[in-house]
Amino acid sequence: MIDGLLERVRRQKPLIHHITNQVTINDCANITLCTGGLPVMTHALGEVEEMVASSDALVINIGTPTPDQIDAMVAAGKKANELKIPVVLDPVGLGATALRTDVISRIVDSVEVAVIKGNAGEISILAGYGGSVKGVESVGRYENIEQPSCDAARKYGCTVVVTGAADIITDGKRLLRICNGDAMMGRVVGTGCMSASVLACFAAVEGDRALSSAAAMACFGIAGELAAKREDVKGPGTFKPALMDEMYNLSEDVVKRYARIEEVALI
Amino acid sequence: MIDGLLERVRRQKPLIHHITNQVTINDCANITLCTGGLPVMTHALGEVEEMVASSDALVINIGTPTPDQIDAMVAAGKKANELKIPVVLDPVGLGATALRTDVISRIVDSVEVAVIKGNAGEISILAGYGGSVKGVESVGRYENIEQPSCDAARKYGCTVVVTGAADIITDGKRLLRICNGDAMMGRVVGTGCMSASVLACFAAVEGDRALSSAAAMACFGIAGELAAKREDVKGPGTFKPALMDEMYNLSEDVVKRYARIEEVALI
Amino acid sequence: MIDGLLERVRRQKPLIHHITNQVTINDCANITLCTGGLPVMTHALGEVEEMVASSDALVINIGTPTPDQIDAMVAAGKKANELKIPVVLDPVGLGATALRTDVISRIVDSVEVAVIKGNAGEISILAGYGGSVKGVESVGRYENIEQPSCDAARKYGCTVVVTGAADIITDGKRLLRICNGDAMMGRVVGTGCMSASVLACFAAVEGDRALSSAAAMACFGIAGELAAKREDVKGPGTFKPALMDEMYNLSEDVVKRYARIEEVALI
């Protein structure tokens, strides 16, 4: 199903423009490089439109939102839309503060996004189901996150990716479940942000965004599994560099062997 | 003396709101997670009060101060005071420039801090004894840092933590000396900043801040000792991830065995 | 030729003030420490002149340029000139957007730089030969980068360092080629930025900037070679901490044995 997509990323080396938070900006740049893309990170209002114009995908992450940066997100997003460059949105901490609700409203009102990636709390809130986010963590249990995901996908005309023990991906027509990954990924700050970078690398090279997202989440999850198994990994500190290594070393063969993608009945 | 505090952090998973510098923001988030807390980092004036309201402690670090960020520190600090949420202040580079003196004056004039952590130069300057800070490093020797520490603790009605070969902790009534840690911690940028995050995790779960600070510094120091002894650590680069690992893997038993906390006669 | 320079850095511990991008700011601070300098990173307009006044070199890196930061770069650069403190300029992504061209013009028009370091695309553009930069990566091949390098060195009265498979260093009078380094350095975000920090450490202790730059690039390259050979390095993730380790562990003897510096005929 996702055969050849990783190779396509590596052959095309898509330039991924990020407008992202200060916390994980370095990790996002490095995982982009390890996936096979080229990262560029700038939120200067004076150049984001020009920068996105030479990019192959745009990641918008609201982790540490400041007024100037939000303006840059909207400007870059509109330019990306104009040029048919896919936009991946990471609504970090949506629900934690009113500001984040406003920022996301402003973005989705003016920018057409290709992929929205969030945790269960963020996506549930985005879909209008309510939810609870403490800081940037999803709180509580979401037994049926499939329904809000499909609703959000249809509402925004995009692909929705919900990260969790299993990842849910839906474009409103199909629903995929990716069962790759390791619990250690939740012990490192920024694996959520990094997954948006990986999603953007694949969205840049494949127009079917449910498919590109499945490939991205499977590859990233497999890299996490391989890293967690390494003998030199002794905790979250050594896990992070190992995750980068494994993403860089990932081959189509390994992806084919370990990808666990299930098609789930439509809702 | 500090029995059970680490377990309490891990059970309560306190949300630690950081308003901090761009240099070590990722390290602070990761060490918070490894300690057992949940990190959130934002300095957007439009949301810091709301964010701190759902937090269990606030870290203010002036490492890379910008006007907007300073306003956010004061606003968040006041809200934290109103809600009795402990504030940990890291006066990075105090004494290096007039701006930093002004920023710290502004913060301590309007915010009641629970814990102030600094190096000997910063604390000596804070207490009015003068001192020398080059960049963000303490310069010179401070033979009797206990006196300025006690003075600062009494003046600001808080607990003062002075990091160094041995850490000094005082609330103006008691004085503790923590003899854990390893010289390698000084070879990595950000271990000072990280210690403020660890202090906040413990301050969030224990109201006696001399005690919570002793637990924090002992745990962090022990993690440093364990990391420095690892065979896979070959220098500062591999030491940092090992430090994260060891903080994550730390158990009450290990803390009990290795903690070196001395009560020193009052001044 | 470069004997004793590394030891001089370690003895003098120069304070290196960075005004740099958000992506690699932590890496730049850590490599400075591993080289033997002390890092300080601030771009607050209210303090950069005072901070640079107590520094031994200034690094200006335009990776994530914002209006306030650019003002701070110019103010700090002018103060550095006044006090004869060497300025190292990293024109990241020059050529990618009009903003970056403007920023670099503004800096070189008002600040005398001691060392300019860039990739082949950036230096070619700087010298007026044109070139192609996609995001922050040099695109295309530059068969004869020596000529633009010499032109730029003469035009700006500085030493120019062009990073690549072999690094080119010229002050317009001499031309050196450094053949140290490893391809893995290109698989990690920020090794270019880090090399500017290393260049600044050496420029702070040696007035002959072709020489100081040769020492810097040879040392950093050797550290990269040693890191790449380590058995615990399994990809870019584990390579980065190993690079830090090896820079920290580097000795004059190892530098003497492995440095590959060639003097090339003048153009």
pLDDT tens per residue, range A119-170: 999 999 999 998 888 888 888 778 789 999 999 999 999 999 999 999 999 9
Q: Choose the closest CB to B240 out of C230, C232, C241.
A: C241
Nearest CA in chain B to C17: B135
Characterize the bridge pairing of strands B15-19 and B38-41.
Answer: parallel
If contacts are CB pairs under 8 Å, which of residues 103-162 in chain C contact chain B?
A: none
pLDDT in tens, C180-221: 999 999 999 999 999 999 999 999 999 999 999 999 999 999
- The tally of CA atoms less than 13 A away on the side-chain side of residue C85 is 26
What is the identity of the amino acid at C249? N
pTM above threshold 0.95: yes
CB B164 within 8 A of CB B120: yes
Distance between B191 CA and the closest CA of chain C, angstroms: 11
Q: Which residues, including other chains, have CB under 8 Å from residue C105's CB and lie 6 or more apart?
A: none
Q: Does A40 touch chain C (CB under 8 A)?
A: yes
Contact state of B236 with C242 under an 8 Å Cβ cutoff: no
Contact state of C135 with A55 under an 8 Å Cβ cutoff: yes
The proportion of chain C whose per-residue pLDDT surpasses 90, expressed as a percent, equals 93
Nearest CA in chain A to C62: A42
Q: Choose the closest CB to B244 out of A64, A65, A236.
A: A236
Q: The complex's ipTM? A: 0.96
Show which subunits contact A, needing at least 3 CB pairs below 8 angstroms.
Answer: B, C
Chain A neighbors of C27, CB-CB under 8 A: 26
Q: Does C56 touch chain B (CB under 8 A)?
A: no
Q: Choose the closest CB to B30 out of A97, A98, A188.
A: A188
Taking residue B252's Cβ as centre, other Cβ atoms within 10 Å add up to: 15
Mutation choice for C interface testing from B43, B73, B138, B238 by most C CBs within 10 A: B238
Residues forming beta bridges with residue C170, ordered by sequence position:
C160, C175
pLDDT in tens, C82-118: 999 999 999 999 999 999 999 999 999 999 999 999 9
Q: Choose the closest CB to C40 out of B24, B136, B235.
A: B136
Nearest CA in chain B to C49: B97
Mutation choice for A interface testing from C92, C194, C234, C244 by most A CBs within 10 A: C234
Contact state of A237 with B242 under an 8 Å Cβ cutoff: yes
Nearest CA in chain A to B36: A187
Q: Choose the closest CB to B38 out of A63, A137, A188.
A: A137
Contact state of A50 with C97 under an 8 Å Cβ cutoff: yes
Contact state of A234 with B240 under an 8 Å Cβ cutoff: no
Taking residue A220's Cβ as centre, other Cβ atoms within 10 Å add up to: 31
Nearest CA in chain B to C54: B134
Q: Which two tokens stand for residue A64?
A: 């540490």
Chain B neighbors of A63, CB-CB under 8 A: 41-42
Mutation choice for A interface testing from C21, C22, C102, C240 by most A CBs within 10 A: C22
Distance between C114 CA and the closest CA of chain B, angstroms: 22
Radius of gyration of chain B (CA): 17
Q: Choose the closest CB to C26 out of B24, B67, B241.
A: B24
What average pLDDT does the structure give for chain C? 96
Q: Does A266 touch chain C (CB under 8 A)?
A: no
Q: Does B38 touch chain A (CB under 8 A)?
A: yes
Q: Does A232 touch chain C (CB under 8 A)?
A: yes
Chain A neighbors of B246, CB-CB under 8 A: 235, 237
Contact state of C38 with B137 under an 8 Å Cβ cutoff: yes
Chain A neighbors of B17, CB-CB under 8 A: 135
Taking residue B231's Cβ as centre, other Cβ atoms within 10 Å add up to: 6
Contact state of A51 with C190 under an 8 Å Cβ cutoff: no
**CA B44 centroid distance within chain:** 22
Q: Does B189 touch chain C (CB under 8 A)?
A: yes
Distance between A187 CA and the closest CA of chain B, angstroms: 7
CB B75 within 8 A of CB B45: yes
Q: Which residues, including other chains, have CB under 8 Å from residue C16's CB and lie 6 or more apart?
A: C32, C37, C38, C39, C40, C55, C56, C57, C58, C59, C197, C200, C201, C204
The predicted pLDDT at position C267 comes to 61
Size of interface A-C (CB pairs under 8 A): 103
Taking residue B258's Cβ as centre, other Cβ atoms within 10 Å add up to: 16
Contact state of B248 with A241 under an 8 Å Cβ cutoff: no
- Tens-level pLDDT at each residue, chain B (267 residues): 899 999 999 999 999 999 999 999 999 999 999 999 999 999 999 999 999 999 999 999 999 999 999 999 999 999 999 999 999 999 999 999 999 999 999 999 999 999 999 999 999 999 999 888 888 888 877 878 999 999 999 999 999 999 999 999 999 999 999 999 999 999 999 999 999 999 999 999 999 999 999 999 999 999 999 999 999 999 999 999 999 999 999 999 999 999 999 998 776
Chain A neighbors of B37, CB-CB under 8 A: none
Q: Does C242 touch chain B (CB under 8 A)?
A: yes
Q: Which two tokens stand for residue B9?
A: 């952090």
- Tens-level pLDDT at each residue, chain C (267 residues): 899 999 999 999 999 999 999 999 999 999 999 999 999 999 999 999 999 999 999 999 999 999 999 999 999 999 999 999 999 999 999 999 999 999 999 999 999 999 999 999 999 999 999 888 888 888 877 878 999 999 999 999 999 999 999 999 999 999 999 999 999 999 999 999 999 999 999 999 999 999 999 999 999 999 999 999 999 999 999 999 999 999 999 999 999 999 999 998 776
Q: Which residues, including other chains, have CB under 8 Å from residue B97's CB and lie 6 or more apart?
A: C46, C47, C50, C51
Q: Which residues, including other chains, have CB under 8 Å from residue B248's CB and lie 6 or more apart?
A: A187, A235, A236, A237, B33, B34
Q: Choose the closest CB to A46 out of C99, C134, C238.
A: C99
Give the containing element (helix H, strand E) for A139: strand A137-139
CB A255 within 8 A of CB A222: yes
Q: Closest Cα partner for A142 from A160, A119, A116?
A: A119
Q: Does C97 touch chain B (CB under 8 A)?
A: no
